[in-house]
Amino acid sequence: MNPSLNLFIIGPTGAGKTSIGRRLATHYGLPFVDLDQEIERHCGVDVNTVFEIEGEAGFRQRESALLDEFSSRRGVLLATGAGAVLAEHNRQQLGERGYVVWLQTTIEQQLERLERDHRRPLLAVPNRHERLQAMAQVREPIYRELADLAVPGEHGSVAAASERCIALIDRHWQRQPTAWPRQNA
């Protein structure tokens, strides 16, 4: 078991990293950090604009720098972007600095959840299903290898999914005695 003070959420686009991550952070009394939102805050523009100006390579450099900054803190819940795991140094930092929870989902669930979302530059393609399949082929083996805990995706509310995550995390995560206390125990 990973006895880290940090909790890191990974998974594909539309898995619920931000929505569930916020609830987990509240439950465990941790500050919540959404990596994509931090990139936007630091750049002063949305992710689409960063992609337009700097391309994916520029975005990934910014993502890696902020992942390094936030993952080196103690006692934080960090929701990564779906592609943050692509860089080896990011995977190393996540694995060494926190307990990594992989929120799983199906492509059908992603399509349903992202139907009206047009903010994601990598999904600005005519065939989203095909793009999501290609991304899953590359990323799922990485998520699987990196995760300390995999949480199966199921249909249902964010509240129900969050409760399922909490139950699994509490059962599997062995925190150090000096770890932060749970607020809602």
Strand order from edge to edge, sheet including 99-103: 32-34, 77-79, 7-10, 99-103, 149-151
The packing angle between helices 88-97 and 47-71, to 10°, is: 40
Distances (CA, A) of 120 to 124, 171, 176: 7, 34, 37
Consult the annotation and say whether 25 binds a ligand.
no
Query: Which residues lie closer than 8 Å to 68 by C-beta, 6 or more apart?
Result: 93
Q: Please tell me whether 36 is known to bind a ligand.
A: yes
Check whether 175 is labelled as a binding-site residue: no
Instruction: Give how far Cα 82 sits from Cα of 60, 66, 93, 124, 167, Å.
Output: 11, 15, 16, 15, 23
Tell me: is residue 14 an annotated ligand-binding position: yes
Residue 139 in marked binding region: yes
Would you say 58 is a known binding-site residue? no
Question: Exposed, middle or buried: residue 34 (CB in 10 Å: 0-12, 13-18, 19+)?
Answer: buried
> Does 18 show up as a binding residue in the annotation?
yes
Question: Hey, is 147 helix, strand or coil?
Answer: coil
* 136 annotated to a ligand binding site: no
Binding site per annotation, positions for substrate: 36, 60, 139
Q: Provide the annotated binding site for ATP.
A: 14-19, 120
| Binding site as annotated, residues | 14-19, 36, 60, 120, 139
Residues tagged in the binding site annotation for Mg(2+): 18
